[in-house]
A and B are shown apart, each in its own frame.
Chain A
Amino acid sequence: MSRLVLTDVNRRFGTVTAVDRFSLTLQAGEFVSLLGPSGCGKTTTLRMIAGFLEPSEGTIDMDGRRISAPGSTLPPEKRNMSMIFQSYAIWPNMTVAENVAFGLEVRRVPKDEMRIKVQRILDVVQMGHLGGRYPQELSGGQQQRVALARAIVVQPAVLLLDEPLSNLDANLREEMRYEIRRLHDEFHITTVYVTHDQAEAMVTSDRIAVMHQGRIEQVDAPRALYARPRTRFVAGFIGRTNLLGGLVRGEDVVFDHFTIARDRFAEAAALQGQVSFSLRPQSIHLYRQSPPASERVCVVPGVVAQRAYLGEHWDYTVRPAGSALALRVTARPHEVFELDEKVWLELDPRQMALLEPE
């Protein structure tokens, strides 16, 4: 368990800046995901933490010790970290047990102790009976488990995972998410997990750092990230959302053909001039009759413009009366509305997350 501190880390390749002023502190035993679309710099960041790449600027410290800085970077083999690769990187010329034993061998662990440790960790990942197999004889999920065992058995200070599930099929991917979290709960290794899949990040992480164009957009616990995205990018990348632009006029926030009193918003004090909000489709409710008005919610008439039945839920697009807006609304399967039907939209201002101006 180690504390990992990245301070103003920059990485350029030629004229391209891949990682831009990246600062993040991981507490000992914390599980943090780097989440973002491909090319956002998350893998570059991970490879800098691992020591495969040197930062162009900035520093990385582990437990108060400087491990990366421009011109002086501790090589990967001296960092006492482990990494799980996208390709699993299981060595095809060694058996499962030999693969897992490699890190212990390098650390000169005595033979007997090594055998015990290897067997124990293989049991933990439910591969105890397959130690003598060669990687070619294993399924993708089993290879993934070997990779996990190999990485954990050395009790690394930090565990790094680079899109470890992207080569698995959907069912297995879901199973392995929980497996990874289970192992973290068992061993409490400080972990950095790189992924482009928000569900993976949500299941596994204590905190998620959303990255975009080399920068951190927002770092937060999964729930906070979903409920209160701070930028337009985060709002759009984590789940689906509606973006509402408004103008603060006196005590009101004026939207396209409806108005909400300013003091009903969570960030009432911060509202000024042009503002934009993110509102999740499942935070909007649809009614056939106007629901009773209350202090908390705001009711707006509208018309169903589009609908799709997706089995688990309905997906509606509703236009508020007279407005050019098209709001996406998620409704439960029994909430059936016809196309062009007049409906009432119930909006909860406190669930509308204020986004930073672009």
Chain B
Amino acid sequence: MREKSFVIWLLLIALLLLLVINPLARLLWASFEHPETGAFTLANYAAAYGRWRHVEALINSLVIGLAVAALCTVFGVPMAWAVSRTDMPGKGLVWAAVLGTFIMPNYLGAVAWILMAGPNAGWLNRVYTAITAAEAGPFNVYSKTGLVLVIACYSFPYMFVFTRSALDLISSEMEDAASTLGAGALRTTLRVTLPLALPAILGAFIVEFLESIALFGAPALIALPARFQVMTTTLWQMFEFPPRVQEAAAYAMPLLLITVFLFWLQYRIIARKGYVALTGKGGERRLVRLGPWRWALLAYCLFVTSLSFFMPMLVVLQAAFARAWGRGFSWDNVTLRNLRFVLFDQTATRAATMNTFVYAAAASVIALTLALAIAYIVARRLVPLGRALTYVAMAPFVIPGIVLAIGFYAAYTTKPLVLYGTAWILILAFATRFLPIAYTNSDAALRSINPELEDAARILGAGRLLSLRRIVAPLLKRGLAGAFILVFIPATRELSSAIFLYTTGTQVLSVLLFDKSDEGNFEVLSSMGLILVVVTVALVLVGFRMVGRDFLLRRTAT
């Protein structure tokens, strides 16, 4: 039973393989390939791990990853509990601040923290010396501690969302059962509520760890000036001219393996049976009355979000509109020069702004089209072994962006298909990187449409493609608009894959921001970051109107 549309499905599957499987295969291949002769060799691994510098960077990554995950737990879990289970005031404010944190790209956060806690000139140090009359402030963002704090500030929202969704599903009856047996509120929370949320917290811990070891932006902005290395910065240095692709591929392998293994572990922990409370909506939920303690909890939430959102946003805004950020908050220091410079005056930044949104839009369209087609093929069993396609489409979820970029570099800088040097390699890399987001959303949108609606069109004489166009497409529109935004937002700020794949003329804002960071022109950096943030906020507001308030911070990650 071969339909006319069959050829289209095969072409789309081929594209999927080209985007996901080919780069991974070429990455693996490159790691065993002699740079000149192309013969099989283990020399790349020897080169990658034969230097203490490289091993040290690996250790740094792991240690920083663990520290970040721990700090995220300290930040995120109490906030999630406060918002989900207690009568703490100001929940809306806290929620908005977490959303604000989520919207800020981590490298912009790093820039903000350099402004806040740079040695000597940082705002926090200036405030400290002004108050204590000390010689110098104690804060120095250019340190491992500084890096851990910055990364944690911009990844704890995951912990918050995971934990909160778990807590939201625990019925008060569980807690009541403990109370009737004589347990107090504190004991109930520690012995019943939190343990029930533990799988989610563990899962989030793993995600935080993986996020931070795969991160490039903040580490590059902070670790390089601080003269230490992590894995991602080491990989980046291997791409300084002449690029040592094979060595980088070999060096990236452990990162890939750790990620795949831990995501699998995370999946197992979350999916573990026995935590009945998490399988469905529980009964009624009542809030824990905290008395005066609720103010303490609110203070803690505001403290964390001050570190992650309020203070950084303030200094970024100040710098973006300042003639010189060090001259502080005064009216004669305010100017629109920086924004005008970024948006209109300078060719490079103007082009990068344009590129950012054009590439992100193109990548979103490609990712969504492909994801939708694959989800459809799987749902309607149009080809044998369709299930396997799901795994392929979801695979980029467990591939660190930087590893994917090296794979793209390895696959598409040489014949038969040379994309390097064109915008397409960036667009396709973005599309691949965010394909899982597109896929989960397309799949959900498609599942919400009863297949009988399509069958009804078929039996009345419409072919498959006509039914898709007339019936399925109009019904999908709404669901897909939300999905588009969810892909578009991360695509506009993507740095870790772009940094390996851009060339002159195909820079995007994130790359330019990073490139300009060593010039020390923080006013311009802040302006660029601000443009990204403003566009993101606008899109998020559109998303709220169209899809609902929880569309961004919903837990779709598993």
Contacts and interface: CB of A to CB of B under 8 A. Distances in A.
Contacts of A91: 453, 456-457, 471, 475
Contacts of A85: 452, 455-456
Contacts of B457: 91, 102
A151 B452 CA distance: 14
A102 B475 contact: no
A51 B463 CA distance: 12
Contacts of A102: 457, 460, 462, 470
Contacts of B452: 85-87, 89
A93 B455 contact: no
Given A54-B1, A73-B1, A75-B3, A106 B461 contact: yes
Nearest to A83: B459
A150 interface: yes
A75 B458 contact: yes
B70 to A, nearest CB: 48
30 contacts: A50-B459, A52-B458, A71-B1, A75-B463, A75-B464, A76-B458, A77-B458, A77-B460, A77-B462, A77-B463, A77-B464, A80-B461, A81-B459, A85-B455, A85-B456, A86-B452, A89-B453, A89-B455, A89-B456, A91-B456, A93-B471, A93-B475, A102-B462, A103-B460, A103-B461, A106-B461, A106-B466, A150-B460, A151-B460, A154-B461
A334 interface: no
Interface string B432-474: 0000000000000000001011011111111110100011001
Given A54-B1, A91-B471, A106-B466, A83 B455 contact: yes
B520 to A, nearest CB: 55
Nearest to B467: A77
Contacts of B455: 50, 52, 76, 83, 85, 89
B103 to A, nearest CB: 33
Please classify how large the interface on chain B is, using the bins under 10, 10 to 19, 20 to 34, 35 or more: 20 to 34
Contacts of A75: 1, 3, 458, 463-464
Given A89-B455, A91-B456, A106-B462, 14 more contacts: A54-B1, A72-B1, A77-B458, A79-B459, A87-B450, A89-B453, A91-B457, A92-B475, A93-B471, A93-B474, A102-B470, A103-B460, A150-B456, A160-B459
A44 interface: no
A82 interface: yes
Contacts of B450: 87, 89
A66 B461 CA distance: 18
B454 to A, nearest CB: 8
Nearest to A93: B474
A107 interface: yes
B459 A76 contact: yes
A114 B475 CA distance: 25
Interface string A54-95: 100000000000000001110111111111011101011100
Nearest to B457: A102
Given A75-B3, A77-B462, A83 B474 contact: no
Contacts of A81: 459
10 closest cross-chain pairs (CB), A and B: A103-B460, A89-B456, A89-B452, A85-B452, A106-B461, A76-B458, A93-B474, A83-B459, A76-B459, A89-B453
B88 to A, nearest CB: 40
A102 B474 CA distance: 15
Contacts of A76: 455, 458-459
A166 B344 CA distance: 64
A72 B458 CA distance: 18
B475 A82 contact: no
A86 B452 CA distance: 8
Contacts of B461: 77-78, 80, 103, 106-107, 154
Nearest to B461: A106
Nearest to A106: B461
Interface in B381-406: none
A80 B461 CA distance: 7
